[in-house]
Amino acid sequence: YERELSAHLRVCNVKREQKFLEDKPFYRRSINSGSLRRPGLNPQPLDVDEVPAILARIRGLQHQKQSHPRGEEVEQITSGPVAEKILATMVAKNWTSESKARHLVQQASLISHLHRRGLLGARSTCVELGAGRGTLGHAVHQAFPEARVVLVERAGVRLKADAPYRRTGEGGVFARYRLDIRDLWINGLPLGPGG
């Protein structure tokens, strides 16, 4: 078994890929894992007498959440210039299945809310963590073609939404990084001009 393992390690590319990733400026091993041994953080043991008050607070927050069901807290934006650009994709690509249509409406509403609050626009950089296929980034590009979209995903994903942009030469607006979020030092990402 040891002989087979050593033979495998000579040809395995995982170690080479890991070394390549570790050399990137945005890679910091376990930087987002959290630690109780950080400077300035002095955790105190929990006093048993405090537990009932903490539980009462949790129950109160839970009751408050249940009295404001989902959908009543935030209006869904499905009209306006930003949402209409994104929803036009649904018609153009014939995405008529209920699941695809629901996701597209959610994305249009989310992007419209971010735009309304000044958090997303033509000169923005959108970093999508846990991007998967990158459909949210794709919707951002539909609404703001000049915006830069950075996709971060741990696993390799097929049928990526940003693939057509790379093939047509519009790939400059998209960047995709394959690494675990726990190792992502966001200040090291090359976000480009104005990033």
Instruction: Specify whether 104 is located in the same domain as 80.
Output: yes
Write out the residue range of the structural domain in which residue 153 sits: 123-194
Which H/E stretch holds residue 56? helix 51-67
pLDDT band at 172 (very low <50, low <70, confident <90, very high): low
Residue 65 counted as domain residue: no
> pLDDT tens for residues 76-126?
777 788 888 777 766 676 665 677 778 888 888 889 989 988 989 888 888
Residue 166 counted as domain residue: yes
Q: Look at phi and psi of residue 58 and say left if phi exceeds 0, alpha if psi is from -120 to 50, else beta.
A: alpha
> Can you tell me the distance from the alpha carbon of 156 to that of 180, in angstroms, rounded to the nearest whole number?
11
